[in-house]
Structure 1
């Protein structure tokens, strides 16, 4: 393998990321290293320390000459054409995000990953299921969107329980069960994107729930790809979840109590 020496500017950028990470307290442990051809790299979406740690790890992979596809939950799968068109037109990371990104994400966290992938010339893969397609799954089932409907009841039980918990008691069980089907659809979509690029290597950026080995995308990988993969949970201090191949802990991101606003709002009606 030919190892490409990164330019000084990139080395300075990596050093700056590590400095920020250290200032946030996320680098008390050794830096995160990605060691398998296929990596499912978890996140807490708003945790700045976790993003800094993961970016340094992805940059390090590219710096040693590897060229894995960057597979992203943050882009819906039907935006792949827009993503590719913006890239073909010579767009930078901001242009790609403007063309194919959507609301609900803090793109400041993900723009450096897209920029790194562009510099390295690696594929950038849209892997998420849109809200519109997720609603179809909730209403009509997984097969309606071409997904595998053979899902163990135990998997749906775990996912529905997590969804109920995350909605602070404001969601009924039937709706949580339907939302669990949408979660499975997203996990299967991410697994399919990884399979498509597994031969050349791939790094998935996704929420920690999606990279869980018991109920997330790893369980939908083929045996051959799973044997070449590692699911890394990047969790906040105090999170006891252990359903990962490897677990990295970062400081908690200060944030308001998410349940306070939910308790003040009317409960969500049951899905029909």
Structure 2
């Protein structure tokens, strides 16, 4: 028996970005029927993964047939991923063949299994560490072809608002302990990831697309949502964040909708940065 998103939200006791669980379900599932649905995550938050999967499953079981672009697979692995999807009977096989060591794959098992069950294309969306290193060394345009450089104006300085906000996120995300000499390169790498995801999403047209990625990537103001709006033709894009939001947290200008989830119990990440 299928559990609706509204029921899942109620069962989890989860606050929403406005209007309560039932209103959130209706808004996420129906608002504009976007061609591109950007679904965020806090990577290790199990509750957020469950709620996001409930949303996606409900739409797919209602007849939606998007391609699923995933940050968790590097774009160079697309051939391996496509072969795994054709040859594997379950998600564990896909993970074994095409996954790597960087992710807690059991959190993504339900989405991958949903794709296999309904024959939805799985698309690798991330920049590999090797390519990210090239970007850090040679600049944000280092991994793009000439047409993409033109399309995304990468032969010009990046918009100041984008670089400023990305810089703030990267510095705070590293507990304000990142050496200054590293910040610019890491900003370029993050921007390059967002542009690649936007480009790969556009490459799936005319098929609808859902993106599975971190909350930072699905932002409308500086992330994939921003870069999708720089290209043509215009696409209907909707971004949904699943955030660990404390009292007074404000994210409303960054996303179209927000689902607040309980914080995941974890060790202090700043202790790892200090080491």
TM-score (norm 1): 0.85
Instruction: Note the 1:160-239 alignment, pairs <5 A.
Output: 160-222=167-229, 227-238=235-246, 239=249
Give 1:226 deviation, angstroms: 5.2
Normalising by the residue count of structure 2, what TM-score does the alignment of the two structures yield? 0.84
- Offset at residue 25 of structure 1 (A): 2.7
Q: Which of residues 63, 66, 70 is equivalent to 2:64?
A: 66
Aligned pairs, number:
252
Structure 1 residues 85 and 52, CA, compared in 2 at 3 Å: closer, same or farther?
A: same
Aligned equivalent of 2:53: 55
For 1:93, the equivalent position in structure 2 comes to 91
Name the counterpart of 2:79: 81
Distance 1:18 1:87 in 2: 31
Q: Which has the higher helix share?
A: 1
Gaps of 5+ in 2: none
Deviation at 1:46, TM superposition (A): 1.0
Partner of 1:26: 14
Give the CA deviation at 1:62.
1.0
Contact 1:17 1:52 in 2 (8 A): no
| CA positional deviation for 1:95 | 1.3
Corresponding position: 1:240 with 2:250? yes
What's the offset of the Cα at 1:15? Answer: 2.9
**1:225, CA displacement in angstroms?**
5.9
Give deviations 1:29-51, integer Å, cap 9, x for gaps: 23643332210111111111111
Q: Which stretches in structure 1 are left out of the alignment for 5+ residues?
A: 1-11, 266-272
How do 1:26-45 and structure 2 match up within 5 A?
26=14, 29-30=21-22, 32=25, 33-35=28-30, 36-45=34-43
Shift of 1:218: 1.1
Distance 1:66 1:42, change over 3 A: same
Distance 1:92 1:120 in 2: 12
Q: RCO greater where, 1 or 2, for CA within 8 Å and sep 6 or more?
A: 2
